[in-house]
Structure 1
Amino acid sequence: MFTEIARARIEKAGGQCLTFDQLALLSPLEKDAVCFSSTLCTDIEKTDDKGPKNAREAVRHFGPAPGVPHSYTKPCARFKGRKFERARGRRNNRGLGISY
């Protein structure tokens, strides 16, 4: 069984939506056929190619300033090398640790 949206998408792309009985009659040797499970078809309907907004990498740059204690905000660094805003103050054994 396909949802209406999944069926429309498959048929718009030039595919066919068949039941297993129809598929067995059409190609008994199962050649040139792709089978989707029903869970996959419902997932196709729900995906938006974007993902959840707050799970994106860009969101990690917003929040309390990167130097503030207990802040997990990523700094907007110009370069990505090991020396550039990745060592001192970001990791425990690299000096400049904030002690209370």
Structure 2
Amino acid sequence: MSSEGTYTRVCALGEVPEEGALGVEVDGTPVAIARSEGEVYAISDICSHAEVNLSEGEVEDGTIECWLHGSCFELRTGKPINPPATQAVPTYRVKIDGDDVLVSLDTEKA
């Protein structure tokens, strides 16, 4: 589909809440599709600290918060911005095609 990697349709854009997240699976990989400040992001749906679903946490100001212990991760980079998490989580490429949200699990940046 693209020279940047293979993209998979994961949901409709309308399914992703404003300042919220939706948990999906891409080829068996849990992915959180998050919308914040008008942008759509794809980030691992598994917290690097407690292995719970990030998509169940709060999304605000370009971050997603783990609902269990409160670690926040930058949606753009996956880096934790507060403890207890110390390791980043993978982020993935996103394309919007009409009302379709497409994700590539290829984590290499273009």
TM range (shorter): under 0.3
Greater relative contact order (Cα < 8 A, sep 6+)? 2
Q: Which has the higher helix share?
A: 1
- TM normalised by structure 2 equals 0.22
TM-score by length of 1: 0.23
Answer with 1 or 2: which has the greater Rg: 1
